[in-house]
Structure 1
Amino acid sequence: MSDSKKVECKDPAGHWLHICQLRKEGRDEDVAALMKDPGHICLNCNAVAKEAKNLCNPSPFSKA
Structure 2
Amino acid sequence: MACSTEQHKMHMCALNAEGNEELIRSITANATVECENCGAVANDPKYVCSPRQLPDIAWMGDGADQCKKC
TM-score (norm 1): 0.78
Write out the 4+ residue segments of structure 1 that deviate beyond 4 Å after TM superposition.
none
Gaps of 5+ in 1: 1-8
Of 35, 44, 49, the residue aligned with 2:37 is 44
Q: Equivalent residues in 2 for 1:22-33 (5 A)?
A: 22-33=15-26
Number of paired residues? 56
Larger RCO (CA under 8 A, 6+ residues apart): 1
Give the helix-richer structure, 1 or 2.
2
Percent identity reads: 29
Alpha-carbon distance between aligned partners in 1 of 2:26 and 2:12, rounded to the nearest angstrom: 10
Runs of at least 5 residues in structure 2 that lack an aligned partner in the other structure: 58-70
What do residues 1-58 of structure 1 show as CA deviations (whole Å, max 9, x unaligned)? xxxxxxxx53223000101101111111111110011110001111110100000111
